[in-house]
Structure 1
Amino acid sequence: MAYQDYCFEHSLLDNQKVIRIIDQAIEKKVGFSLARFGIGEITYLSWPANPLLLEQFKRYASYAGVTSSPEIIKNELVTALRTVDMAGLITPQRLDFWAKTTRLVLEQMAFLPSNICCAWIMHDLVNEGKLWRWLNKKKVFLVGRRSHEAYSIFKKQGVHVTGFIQLNHFDEIDIVHDYVLKDSKWEIVLISAGIPATILAPRIAKSSGRVAIDFGHALDLIIDGKSFDHSMLVKKWNDQDSLSKENEI
């Protein structure tokens, strides 16, 4: 296949179609996963061919849950991309450079996901005011660093939240996976945990036979609203991380 054959945007499913597919999976009680391959994921999937991207991503790495070697992270992401039911990819309309880099990654892998949507689908649902109507009457489990903060908001919006758990680092993926599977009540798990979320979503869907969504910064948008500031969240996390490491010395 030539480079132009990996222009995935021609196969992009619109948001409404994706939501219908997710709802059908819940109705039929079959496993389904949606994982987002954003800037962090594409950075690691580009390694070692493009080491500069990894260098530029360093300040975001801890916040994005990266606590392992680039080789391990890349291998896990390759597995996630090959096994996920729906891949959220960066579109040229949003970030042209990263869309081109995504095409290069797919070409190097000689692989094109069978189902593709925009990486910001969940963000769009929040911004368009459609999220709560969609989650109405669904049983939801929340995973991520800010899941406890989000719990009360989801409850106030009438969403049935069966449980929540934090996920901060790559090393916690297996623990969180097993914890989530102990809850038999949820129908859909929303995971906001950086790169670990991308890796975990297809795993949970396969193990549970239910729906797992890499929810991303959509959770931050719900909590912070118009005050959402990604750079500030990264700085706050890095400051806390540095202080924690100093106290360990």
Structure 2
Amino acid sequence: MVLNKKRYFIQIAYDGSQYHGWQIQPNAITVQELLDKAMSTFYRQPIETLGCGRTDAGVHATEFYAHFDVENLEESKVLQAVAGINAMLPYQIAAKRIIPVHEEAHARFDATARAYKYYLHFEKDPFKLNRSWLVKDKLDLNLMNQAAALLLDYTDFSCFSKSNTQTFTNNCKIVKAVFEETDGGLVFTIEADRFLRNMVRAVMGTLVRVGKYEINLEEFKAVIESKNRSKAGQSVPACGLYLVKVEYPYLR
């Protein structure tokens, strides 16, 4: 019996420190490449996933979704594949669940919200290597939170976007941006309807400049209003960045 092709989401988590980002690239090992290979082997047919975004080399994800299509296979066998797929994946990548979705569901375009966390610490710690950014300077937490709150007043974040990206707009609606103290350091949480390429790392680099008193709040606002990437701070290291939430109207 021939079954119709069906679409599914797979939820995964990964430590990105050993990979050259999510998206398949020539001459580099990526999360997508390894996931597609494992799923193709398990399902015994070519599987090509499309992810909810493109995390850069060294960036991590505690929640990441991709969609894929399967042909001629009963849904029960597709949904029960998590353990088998995990057995074929390296330990740094974990499949969490597989979810049936409608045939037009799209992991990237259907996402209504995303959230990232960025971790930094102040003292050398071997257990935070490749998972948090070591900052040796003292930072003014209160001042950085005042600057972070200003992000909610803007929508055009061209100044924090990597140049020459294939996007129709640099507008984003940020609904949360806050620093909190954590064990030996800080964690920055930012949530929005969408993010631009390299945006979170550029935002962090500029907020750290505020925390080091290199620019004040008015100058921070001027950076945003300039819409000029060269006015913002440098991108902070990828090791501290985690994609932690992706929301869809049809997933629970």
Q: Same fold (TM over 0.5)?
A: no
- TM-score, with structure 2 as normaliser: 0.24
Structure number having the greater helix percentage? 1
Q: Which has the higher strand share?
A: 2
TM-score if structure 1 supplies the norm length?
Answer: 0.24
Give the structure, 1 or 2, with the largest relative contact order (CA under 8 Å, sep 6 or more).
1
